[in-house]
Structure 1
Amino acid sequence: MCIAVFMWQANPKYPFLLLHNRDEFYARPTEALAWWEGEAILGGRDAVGGGTWLGSTRDGRIAFVTNFREVENLPHPKTRGDLPLRFLQSNKSPQEFAEEVLKEAHEYNGFNLVLADICTSTMVYVFNRSNDDNPSVAQVTPGIHVLTNAALDTPWPKAERLRHDFKELIDNYGQSEFPIKEMVEKLMTNTVKDEVCMLPGIQPPEREQPLSSIFVETELSSGHYGTRSSSALFVKSNKEVTFYEKYLHQKDWNDKMVTYKICERL
């Protein structure tokens, strides 16, 4: 289902900070963080659908997606992992690509999509399950935001726990360097679950409660399911990007870190 917390244009040293957990069935083949062959895209890859949940490019584009929790799914939907990938492959601005997505949003199961261009300080949010069933696009405002499996900044308890702990950690570090691995360990491994009365009530509590922690590990009817990777993507004001991923490979946790400098587009 996934969860992400990010800070946008609210820190003089770090114009963008992102922490992201990807939740998926353990049996689904996945490729770890890497530069994709023949492309300038950095991210993990869903080996089934071919897309990604989080990726970035050398020219300053970033995109990530989470699923939207709903009662029913489409019988033959397009894969949501294609949305971040297509943006990263394109030359479109976040707004232009978002408007393109709106035209086909009904062909996907529920999603939250965030698109950013560091070079133009632009970030938009695309959502295809609004109250009036019309997909929408919004500019993301400066500050701290949390994305779970509802609309951006919906105050689910797990989202509020993550927001609070993220802000506290940011305040504690002040003007010093943010330790990327330490922040992942402190914030994205939390296994606290909600009481039944705190659940959103979209699906039965026996399904929702195991998913109510920031770090997920549970057994669903379709198989073993949980947090397969925890990622962090930090962009400094000098355009240096650090992309870190801690990922589950078979039964062992491994990690990888890639650092690069954003190349301004001509």
Structure 2
Amino acid sequence: MCVIFFYANSNPSSDGYKLILASNRDEFFARETRSVAKWANADHVYGGIDLEPGREGGTWLAIGGKNGIFKVGALLNLTGEPKPRDAVAHNNILQTHNNSLHMSSNNSQINNKHTSMSTKTNNEHLLLGRGMIVADYVTSSDESHNIVNYNKGLIADCTKYSAFNFVSIEIGNASQPAAIKLLSNVPPTLADYEQERCYGFGNSLPEAPFEKVRHGQKHFAQIVEDHGHADVKTLSDQLLQLLKNSNKFWPDAELLKRAPNWGEGLSALNVHIAEHAYGSRTHTVLLLDANNKLHFIEETMAGLDPAGEWRRTHIEKQYTL
């Protein structure tokens, strides 16, 4: 479970922002993850990295700036959609990205996984790791990876993945509006969205959002209206406060349908389901100002207890595109 709210504008006023984004990553607390940092294989990209065995190298949210273009990718699963029986990760997608990340300490383990996976070639349900969708999009800057062509190729291949929503944003020259797309694979659909509007997406299809997404989007829009020209600290504090909202927006018919056993626990923006050691383990704010300065602010759990220590990272990067 995850949630994302964002506003994009390729040509803001001098005290405005090209991108205002707030997102929660909901995951099992024990899942191994690398916190936000510059990527070893792509020094124009910033984001966290999934280290879960079998999913190493993928990410849920990342941003890259190169050749005059900023690209943002975010991955949200679609809750309650069935996964094919005996589904496994496709070996090629893991091998490619792990080599590029130079994660040498894990190479022997990964290669062993590839060996075991390759023996399952008769399994018709070979699924690709969804986190690689974001990683491949933001790292590559060739024409085949621009927002139009990448999504066109992805929708043609999207049934090779478990259910997902993929948010992609491309911000370039001020004379061109920011491009925003949402691709869902159950069923395969690709939608375009206009810049200078506030959006919110979660773990359901966009036409049937969870109540927490509805309420969160309204709150996010109010923050953008009231503080969208404020300094970074003021704006980021407001956005983090939104992400930490533990009020449950319940009942929720769509969430009850998709997650009948966990629905009430998942109905808050800031999720905490203690009995399953699951919840909102990472809060992220992305701000890109009118002068192409990026602020990537992440607060993430340092251990397995959300009431314990949290690590805060604030990366500032001045892009010259």
Residue 36 of structure 2 corresponds to: 33
**Which whole-Å CA distance do the structure 2 matches of 1:154 and 1:254 have between them?**
34
Residue 94 of structure 1 corresponds to: 147
The structure carrying a bigger helix percent of its residues is: 2
Q: Are the aligned partners of 2:61 and 2:134 in contact in 1 as well (CA < 8 Å)?
A: yes
Determine whether 1:124 maps to 2:181: yes
Q: Are the aligned partners of 1:199 and 1:208 in contact in 2 as well (CA < 8 Å)?
A: no
**Which whole-Å CA distance do the structure 2 matches of 1:139 and 1:204 have between them?**
28
**Which whole-Å CA distance do the structure 2 matches of 1:204 and 1:117 have between them?**
32
Shift of 1:174: 5.5
Q: Are the aligned partners of 1:244 and 1:256 in contact in 2 as well (CA < 8 Å)?
A: yes
**Which whole-Å CA distance do the structure 2 matches of 1:175 and 1:72 have between them?**
43
Determine whether 1:42 maps to 2:46: yes
Shift of 1:198: 4.4
Determine whether 1:156 maps to 2:159: no
Structure-2 change in CA distance of 1:199 and 1:123 (3 Å): closer
Deviation readout 1:210-235 (Å, 9 max, x if unpaired): 01110011046xx4111110001111
Deviation readout 1:110-148 (Å, 9 max, x if unpaired): 11111122225322221111xxx3x12222212011011
Give the count of matched residue pairs: 258
**Matched residue type, 2:61:** L
Residue 229 of structure 2 corresponds to: 175
Residue 262 of structure 1 corresponds to: 319
**Which whole-Å CA distance do the structure 2 matches of 1:67 and 1:204 have between them?**
13
Residue 214 of structure 1 corresponds to: 269
Residue 58 of structure 2 corresponds to: 51
Structure-2 change in CA distance of 1:125 and 1:204 (3 Å): closer
Shift of 1:168: 1.9
Where does structure 1 lack aligned partners over 5 or more consecutive residues? Answer: none
Deviation readout 1:65-107 (Å, 9 max, x if unpaired): 1111124123333211110001012222111110111122001
Please list every run of at least 4 consecutive aligned residues from structure 1 whose deviation after the TM superposition is greater than 6 angstroms: none
Q: Are the aligned partners of 1:147 and 1:153 in contact in 2 as well (CA < 8 Å)?
A: no
Residue 291 of structure 2 corresponds to: 238
Q: Are the aligned partners of 2:38 and 2:47 in contact in 1 as well (CA < 8 Å)?
A: yes
**Matched residue type, 1:229:** T
Determine whether 1:15 maps to 2:72: no
**Which whole-Å CA distance do the structure 1 matches of 2:281 and 2:223 have between them?**
24
Where does structure 2 lack aligned partners over 5 or more consecutive residues? Answer: 89-126
Q: Report SS of the residue matched to 1:202.
A: helix
Structure-2 change in CA distance of 1:99 and 1:81 (3 Å): same
TM-score normalised by length of structure 1:
0.89
Determine whether 1:146 maps to 2:200: yes
Q: Are the aligned partners of 2:250 and 2:264 in contact in 1 as well (CA < 8 Å)?
A: yes
- Aligned counterpart in structure 2 of residue 81 of structure 1, from 117, 131, 138: 131
**Which whole-Å CA distance do the structure 2 matches of 1:195 and 1:88 have between them?**
36
Deviation readout 1:188-214 (Å, 9 max, x if unpaired): 001111333545332353311101110
**Which whole-Å CA distance do the structure 1 matches of 2:287 and 2:208 have between them?**
23
TM-score normalised by length of structure 2:
0.75
Structure-2 change in CA distance of 1:139 and 1:199 (3 Å): closer
**Which whole-Å CA distance do the structure 2 matches of 1:227 and 1:210 have between them?**
11
